[in-house]
Amino acid sequence: MRRLLLIVLLLAAGLAAAAHAYHASIMDVRYNAPKQQLEVALKVFTDDFEKALSAGQPRPISFEESPKPQVTTLITALLTRSVAFGTRPGEALPLKFIGFQKESDAHWLYFSIKLAKPVNGIYLRHRLLLDTFADEMNIVNVEAAGKKQSALFRDGEDSQKLMW
């Protein structure tokens, strides 16, 4: 009995160590002034993002096994609900999803936001995965007008104005 308990404890410890200890995303935003658009690359842990994509679905969603059109539709919908760029508070400019790419235990998601005119800052609401993981931290790096800055978005602090 003791041996069985020891094996169960060791297996449980191994499974806990296999999961990552934090929940985070990294978003790189580049302001392309000549094209008047924001170009965005967003890195998410695959397992965390698949969990969010699977919410409300009849079967779990997988980047590898689910049909790509279905995954693309779900990603676009989740991004539209969770991330909003605007030139004034509360605005949500249309997002154009470009695609995704696997990198080890993560995926990069690519999208752009067209701007109507040149800007010197944006409003960003970033709630990605905050409803799925209470400890989620979304790091945003912005490069615009030769300047670089970073911001942190988390529960209770999901909207910021970023100026350049």
**pLDDT value of position 22:** 84
pLDDT tens-digit readout, 3-53: 544 344 444 444 444 456 789 999 999 999 999 999 999 999 999 999 999
pLDDT tens-digit readout, 155-164: 999 999 999 9
- Residue 59 belongs to a domain: yes
Structural domain span for residue 120:
22-163
- Residue 81 belongs to a domain: yes
Report how many domains make up the chain: 1
**pLDDT value of position 135:** 96
Confidence (pTM): 0.86
Contact 50, 59 (CB under 8 A): no
Q: Is the pLDDT of residue 133 over 80?
A: yes
**pLDDT value of position 39:** 98
Length of the chain equals 164
Closest CA to 27 of 161, 157, 155, 152: 152
- Residue 5 belongs to a domain: no
- Residue 9 belongs to a domain: no
Residues 78 and 106: their CA atoms lie apart, in Å, by 17
- Residue 2 belongs to a domain: no
- Residue 8 belongs to a domain: no
**pLDDT value of position 10:** 41
- Residue 141 belongs to a domain: yes
pLDDT tens-digit readout, 63-86: 999 999 999 999 999 999 999 999
- Residue 3 belongs to a domain: no
DSSP single-letter state for residue 110 = E
